[in-house]
Amino acid sequence: MKAVLSNVNLINRQDELANEFYSHIDDLMEHPLVLKMDDYSQHLNTSRLQHSLNVAYYSFLFARKLKLNVRDAVRGALLHDLFLYEWRTEQPVEGNHVLVHPIQALQNARKVTEVTWVMEDVIASHMWPVGNVKPKTSEGWLIQMMDKLCAVMEIGVQSSKKVERYNFAPILLGLLFYIN
- List residues binding Fe ion (CB under 5 A): 81, 147
Nearer Cβ to Fe ion (143/175): 143
Q: What amino acid occupies position 13?
A: R
Minimum Å distance from CB 80 to Fe ion? 6
Q: Is 168 exposed, middle or buried (0-12, 13-18, 19+ CB in 10 A)?
A: middle
Which distant-in-sequence residues (6+ apart) come within 8 Å of 72 by Cβ?
A: 116, 118, 119, 122, 139
Distance in angstroms (rounded) separating the CA atoms of residues 22 and 129? 29
Nearer Cβ to Fe ion (81/120): 81
| Cβ pair 118, 79 in contact under 8 A | no
Minimum Å distance from CB 178 to Fe ion? 21
Nearer Cβ to Fe ion (45/166): 45
Distance in angstroms (rounded) separating the CA atoms of residues 122 and 118? 6
Distance in angstroms (rounded) separating the CA atoms of residues 37 and 22? 18
Minimum Å distance from CB 55 to Fe ion? 6
Nearer Cβ to Fe ion (81/139): 81
Classified as helix, coil or strand, 169 is helix
Minimum Å distance from CB 147 to Fe ion? 4
Instruction: Measure the CA angle with vertex 77, ends 12 and 122; round to 5°.
Output: 155
Nearer Cβ to Fe ion (95/173): 95
Minimum Å distance from CB 130 to Fe ion? 9
